[in-house]
């Protein structure tokens, strides 16, 4: 329990350093609204991932990526304004979450920039937006699964790795089947690096960076939860043994106290009887 509290506090400090604090604990209504917006925000940001790569690929269309960026900006803007309105102090909430405001501006800019395949400057700027998007997605995932069970974390890990496998299947020519894409996603996220299948195109190489950052984090949560469950099982066993020993000692003390009371009572009775027996 103490380890989990320390991990949560460390993540909270890291989130604050990047300008992500969410609604304060003293604002329960704002926190409920924030929780309600987490899944829509995460899904909207996920759609910007294929949008980013659709513009890198030769002959990619810019219509759907633009719609994805604008849609994500709209969802993030609605969430930010809704929570800010619920706090009663809009300026304070925005100052506490500058990354959200910066990401909102970045998403709008990404929708207006020229095609990344034709403009290196647009590609660099969209890479910065992708980094902010990844940061926001990691923060949202942490809030969603921080108190989840092992089965829930495994499901999230499978969904993340499955999405990464689909991405490699789409972007990497050396993964002609979905199975190859899933294998490359797992080896990349787990940082195994067998070398049998590797990213070869600029798009898949950029994608592999985000797969490592996101997939490795999710896999770490799963393995940490498994280790924590083993440790908690051992701690419970030790606690049961300690409680059993304490009960045994307490029962022994009760018997000794009862014997002492009985001996004391007999001594008092003998003391009261002694004067009567004297001539």
Q: How confident is the model over 102-128, as pLDDT tens digits?
A: 999 999 999 998 888 778 888 899 989
The pLDDT value recorded for residue 12 is: 52
Answer whether 59's CB lies under 8 Å from 95's CB: no
- The region of weakest confidence among 18-22, 86-90, 174-178 is 18-22
More confident residue, 140 or 42: 42
Q: What are the C-alpha distances in Å from 39 to residues 28, 52, 79, 137, 145?
A: 19, 20, 11, 10, 12
Are 113 and 196 members of one domain? no
Question: Residue 7: is its pLDDT beyond 50?
Answer: no
Answer whether 108's CB lies under 8 Å from 49's CB: no
Answer whether 204's CB lies under 8 Å from 180's CB: no
Domain edge (last residue) among 100, 118, 147: 147
Are 219 and 170 members of one domain? yes
- The region of weakest confidence among 15-24, 143-152, 172-181 is 15-24
Domain edge (last residue) among 95, 119, 147: 147
Residue 185 to residue 48: CA distance in whole angstroms? 19
Are 124 and 168 members of one domain? no
Domain edge (last residue) among 78, 113, 147: 147
More confident residue, 255 or 60: 255
- Taking residues 224-249, report their average pLDDT: 80
Question: Residue 70: is its pLDDT beyond 90?
Answer: yes
Are 128 and 211 members of one domain? no
Are 179 and 113 members of one domain? no
Give the position of tokens 């989840």: 148
Residue 82 to residue 194: CA distance in whole angstroms? 47
Average pLDDT, the chain: 80
Are 75 and 186 members of one domain? no
Closest CA to 56 of 139, 125, 118, 137: 118
Are 2 and 126 members of one domain? yes
Answer whether 164's CB lies under 8 Å from 189's CB: yes
Residue 262 to residue 255: CA distance in whole angstroms? 10
Range of the domain at 109: 1-147
Q: Give the tokens for residue 275.
A: 């004067």
DSSP label at 177? S
Question: Residue 79: is its pLDDT beyond 50?
Answer: yes
The pLDDT value recorded for residue 5 is: 43
The pLDDT value recorded for residue 10 is: 52
Are 168 and 233 members of one domain? yes
User: How many domains does the chain divide into?
Assistant: 2
The pLDDT value recorded for residue 2 is: 41
- Taking residues 177-194, report their average pLDDT: 90
């Amino acid at each position: 329990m103490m380890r989990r509290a320390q991990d949560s506090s460390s993540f909270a400090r890291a989130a604050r350093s990047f300008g992500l604090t969410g609604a304060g604990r003293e604002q329960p209504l704002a926190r409920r609204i924030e929780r309600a917006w987490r899944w829509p925000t995460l899904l909207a940001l996920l759609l910007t991932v294929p949008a980013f790569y659709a513009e890198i690929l030769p002959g990619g269309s810019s219509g759907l990526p633009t719609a994805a960026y604008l849609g994500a900006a709209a969802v993030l803007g609605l969430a930010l304004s809704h929570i800010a309105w619920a706090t009663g102090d809009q300026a304070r909430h925005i100052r506490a979450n500058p990354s959200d405001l910066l990401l909102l501006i970045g998403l709008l800019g990404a929708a207006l920039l020229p095609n990344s395949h034709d403009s290196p400057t647009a590609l660099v700027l969209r890479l910065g937006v992708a980094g902010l998007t990844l940061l926001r997605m990691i923060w949202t995932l942490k809030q969603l699964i921080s108190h989840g069970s092992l089965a829930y974390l495994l499901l999230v890990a499978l969904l993340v790795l499955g999405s990464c496998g689909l991405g490699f299947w789409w972007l990497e020519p050396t993964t002609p089947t979905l199975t190859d894409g899933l294998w490359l996603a797992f080896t990349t996220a787990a940082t195994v690096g067998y070398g049998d299948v590797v990213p070869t195109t600029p798009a898949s190489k950029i994608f592999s960076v985000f797969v490592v950052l996101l997939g490795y984090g999710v896999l770490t949560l799963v393995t940490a939860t498994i280790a924590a469950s083993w440790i908690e099982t051992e701690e419970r066993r030790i606690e049961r043994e300690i409680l059993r020993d304490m009960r045994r000692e307490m029962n022994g003390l009760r018997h000794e106290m009862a014997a002492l009371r009985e001996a004391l009572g007999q001594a008092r009775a003998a003391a009261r009887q002694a004067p009567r027996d004297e001539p």
